[in-house]
Amino acid sequence: MTFEGPGVPTLPDEMDVWTVAGRPGGPGRLRAATRAVPAPQANEVLVEVSACGVCRTDLHLADADLPARAADRVPGHEIVGRVVARGSATDRFAIGDRVGIAWLRMTCGSCQWCRSGRENLCRASEYTGWDADGGFAEYAVVPAAYAYRLPSGLSDADAAPLLCSGIIGYRSLRRAALPPGGRLGIYGFGASAHLTAQLALAGGAEVHVLTRGDAARELALALGAASAGDAYAAPPMPLDSAILFAPVGDLVPVALAALEQGGTLTIAGIHLTDVPALDYQKHLFREKTVTSVTANTRADGEEFLRLAQALGIRPRVHTYSFVEADRALDDLAEGRYDGAAVLDLGLGSSR
């Protein structure tokens, strides 16, 4: 494949990728493969991938918690790279620009949800790494209108987790209706949660973390949490708001019981195991609220990236080489690291 013009690189015809193997529940979830380098459509840019975060949604896809929308899909939706080609109908980015590709890939732009600023609820929406191939690959394409300019001063590996874990955490925090200076409970403390905690702490919140694993609790305390305990334990005091990041339905009544009256529980995940029966008086009465998060809008992404730069929000990153993609997903499933994991394709530097 060759794109001609000043400063436009000559590109290979093929690239290395990882695809969902259809073997849930252990090593071998992904399969190494070779694909043709995609050509950008008129409204798209082609990005040479330098880093891609490893998100729990990738694990849900590989483990068939989410139904496959195509066989042999390339996962990955926390993509950082540089534009190496662009379609004829877009000039939003120049060749060489560093960009981010996130989960939301396309919406219709004309339905009631899109027209009211709630494009995340568009019924025709499409998603990177689910409806279209993602960033566990050397190259990826995306409609230019859905790519992000990234803050300067962040390495590619540090920028990658911001593109889903950070953005979804930001939307979850907004939907949790946390009052100024309020007490926030965070259930589960992985990639999204540890970024959300930093955001809440920067806003003056008192943060209490409830999670499995000593390493995660130690990280929570190091970041400034007021307490860190077991996920099923009661926090030291009632919570004004709570966010459930762990995909564990059993924790819904636990978190609701920990709320002060009038409090809100936000469920942040795309997948959740079954929720047990709730006791109305104990879990919901006194005007407690339960809400969910469905993807994000592009406005959420732009707002969060500005805040991350202004507030100095940084992920705790564990890097894996591209050939270790399957191991990275297995380590996520087994809780072998704190913070976030990123595939480093060895191309990146901050600009």
**Do 90 and 144 belong together in one domain?**
yes
Mean pLDDT of 342-346: 94
Mean pLDDT of 249-254: 98
CB 225 within 8 A of CB 247: no
What is this structure's pTM? 0.93
CATH at residue 174: 3.40.50.720
**Do 195 and 142 belong together in one domain?**
no
**Do 99 and 193 belong together in one domain?**
no
**Do 274 and 172 belong together in one domain?**
yes
User: What pLDDT shows up at residue 8?
Assistant: 61
What is the tally of structural domains in the chain?
2
**Do 189 and 124 belong together in one domain?**
no
283: closest CA among 329, 310, 252, 306?
252
CA 13-16-18 angle, to 5 degrees, is 140
**Do 116 and 176 belong together in one domain?**
no
pLDDT bin (cut points 50, 70, 90) of residue 154 is: very high
User: What pLDDT shows up at residue 348?
Assistant: 40
pLDDT of 350 higher than 90: no
Q: Which domain holds residue 261?
A: 167-292
Could you report the per-residue pLDDT of 158-199, keeping only the tens digit for each? 999 999 999 999 999 999 999 999 999 999 999 999 999 999
pLDDT bin (cut points 50, 70, 90) of residue 7 is: low
Helices (H) and strands (E) in the chain, counts: 9, 17
Mean pLDDT of 122-126: 98
Could you report the per-residue pLDDT of 49-81, keeping only the tens digit for each? 999 999 999 999 999 999 989 999 999 999 999
Task: Tell me, yes or no, whether 307 lies in a domain.
Answer: no
Task: Tell me, yes or no, whether 350 lies in a domain.
Answer: no
Task: Tell me, yes or no, whether 279 lies in a domain.
Answer: yes
128: closest CA among 292, 337, 8, 298?
298
Task: Tell me, yes or no, whether 8 lies in a domain.
Answer: no
**Do 137 and 254 belong together in one domain?**
no
**Taking the mean position of all CA atoms in its chain, how far away is CA 265?**
19
**Do 29 and 65 belong together in one domain?**
yes
Distance in angstroms (rounded) separating the CA atoms of residues 2 and 297: 34
Task: Tell me, yes or no, whether 28 lies in a domain.
Answer: yes
Mean pLDDT of 250-254: 98
User: What pLDDT shows up at residue 65?
Assistant: 93
Residue with tokens 């942040």: 268
Task: Tell me, yes or no, whether 2 lies in a domain.
Answer: no
**Do 267 and 331 belong together in one domain?**
no
Distance in angstroms (rounded) separating the CA atoms of residues 322 and 73: 17
CA distances from 344 to 25, 46, 121 (A): 24, 18, 32
